[in-house]
């Protein structure tokens, strides 16, 4: 059973590159916060995990397309 741990604010998250078991156990592709910095360093050095950078907030993108709004047909006014 795989699950994703919800990170605490400002926490570093790690993704398992291989399955491993010990003080910390993770399966391939599992994402978790490893609270013990020394354990995280050892796992990084061994190549078992990779650090996941926090995603930046998406900035609004200006619409640069040259589309003109659809014009409405003019009603001809008659007498």
Per-residue pLDDT reduced to its tens digit, 20-76: 999 999 999 999 999 999 999 999 999 999 999 876 555 666 666 666 666 666 666
Say which residue the tokens 């570093």 belong to.
Answer: 12
Distance of CA 42 to the CA centre of its chain: 24
Phi, psi dihedral angles at 15 (to 5 degrees): -115, 130
The predicted model scores a pTM of 0.57
3-class SS string, 35-73: CCHHHHHHHHHHCCEEEECCCCCCCCCCCCCCCCCCCCC
User: CA distances (Å), 40 to each of 19, 21, 36, in order?
Assistant: 15, 13, 6
């Amino acid at each position: 059973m795989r699950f994703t741990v919800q990170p605490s604010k400002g926490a570093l998250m790690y993704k398992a590159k291989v399955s491993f078991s010990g003080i910390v156990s993770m399966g391939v592709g599992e994402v978790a916060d490893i609270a013990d910095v020394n354990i995280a360093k050892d796992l990084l050095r061994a190549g078992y995990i990779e650090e996941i950078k926090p995603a930046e907030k998406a900035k609004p993108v200006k619409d640069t397309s040259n589309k003109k709004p659809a014009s409405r047909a003019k009603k001809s006014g008659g007498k």
